[in-house]
Amino acid sequence: MQDTPTAAPPDPDSLGRPTLTDWTFLASMVVMIALVAWVGELSYQEGMKTEVTKRNGEAWAQWFGETGAERFKEDFGMLACAGGPPRAPTEQTEADPSVPNTPPAPPLASAPASRVWGDCLKALTTPPGALAGLRNPFHRAAIEIAAKCEPSDRNLTGALVLEKLVPTPPGSPIPFVASPLVETDVIDNKLQIRVTVCDKGAYPIRIGEVEF
């Protein structure tokens, strides 16, 4: 009678030890966890940049609102952004040296020059201007003021859009017309300003409308 061969018993020392397959699985899990953490960190950083961009827009809207309530007062200190009728500059003429004891001629008034947004913008964004320290978190540079947000132009991420809102006549189908606030716009009178920022995809995020 022929004996049937039996399988060799397992080595007791090898029981419970991870195999090559186990090590491969564990390594892949570690890599996957690291990738998920990295993607999460990137998403968090991008989200924070968007939040900083929104806070930049809110700072501009707050400045417009606070300044709009003060800039028509006589004691308003930021003359480049002041409202009301422009003051006419004066020129003092010198006395005629050929005529002794001649008093100086009275000041000559020249035509008053209207205040424009470009001068106010320069005073506002140049140190020590109130908003000079704000930076675009996406490009780590000064905030660019754009005409509008364009998703096709990723250079506009984090940009600021300022629009003036001009009311239309009563009965018009739209209450106002929006156009970019440009440096040559006169700011002697009250203006309605819309503040918008461009997110990480250069899509617009509406901040608000304020009276300036």
Q: HEC string of 117-140?
A: HHHHHHHHHCCCCCCCCCEECCCC
pLDDT at residue 121 greater than cutoff 80:
yes
Q: Per the domain annotation, does 67 fall within a domain?
A: yes
H/E element, 205:
strand 204-211
**pLDDT value at 112 more than 80:** no
3: left (phi over 0), alpha (psi -120 to 50) or beta: beta
33: confidence class by pLDDT, cuts 50, 70, 90: confident
Pick the more confident residue, 67 or 24: 67
Asked whether residue 204 is domain-assigned, the answer is yes
Those residues whose C-beta lies under 8 Å from the C-beta of residue 151, and which sit 6 or more positions away, are 201, 202, 203
- Binned at pLDDT 50, 70 and 90, residue 164 comes out as very high
Nearest-angstrom CA–CA distance, 102 and 39:
82
pLDDT band at 46 (very low <50, low <70, confident <90, very high): confident
**Helix, strand, coil: what percent of the chain each, to 5?**
30, 20, 50
pLDDT class for 163, splitting at 50, 70, 90? very high
State the average pLDDT over residues 176-183.
94
Q: For residue 145, what is the DSSP state?
A: E
Across the chain, mean pLDDT equals 83
pLDDT at position 14 over 70: no
Share above pLDDT 70 across residues of the chain, in percent, rounded to a whole number:
72
Domain tally for the chain?
1
- Residue 177 is assigned to a structural domain of this protein: yes
User: What percentage of the chain exceeds 90 in pLDDT?
Assistant: 57
Q: How confident is the model at residue 87, as a pLDDT?
A: 63
Task: Please tell me the predicted confidence (pLDDT) of residue 113.
Answer: 82
Q: Quick one: how far is CA 58 from the chain centroid? A: 8
Q: Identify the domain containing residue 29 by its residue range.
A: 20-83+108-211
* 189 belongs to a structural domain: yes
Confidence of residue 22 (pLDDT cuts 50, 70, 90): low
Q: Looking at the predicted structure, is the pLDDT value of residue 75 above 70? A: yes
Residue 186's pLDDT is what?
Answer: 96
CA distance 209 to 31: 48
In a domain, 13, yes or no: no
Max distance between CA atoms of the chain, in angstroms, equals 153
Asked if the structure places residue 91 within a domain, the reply is no
Report pLDDT for 31. Answer: 74
Structure tokens that stand for 52 in this block: 């900083």
The answer on pLDDT for 44 being more than 90 is no
Is 117 part of a structural domain of the chain? yes
pLDDT of residue 17: 73
CB-based contact 124:196 (threshold 8 Å): no
Q: Does any domain span residue 149?
A: yes
* CA 69 to each of CA 62, 99, 158, 191: distance values in angstroms, whole numbers, following the listed order: 11, 52, 28, 11
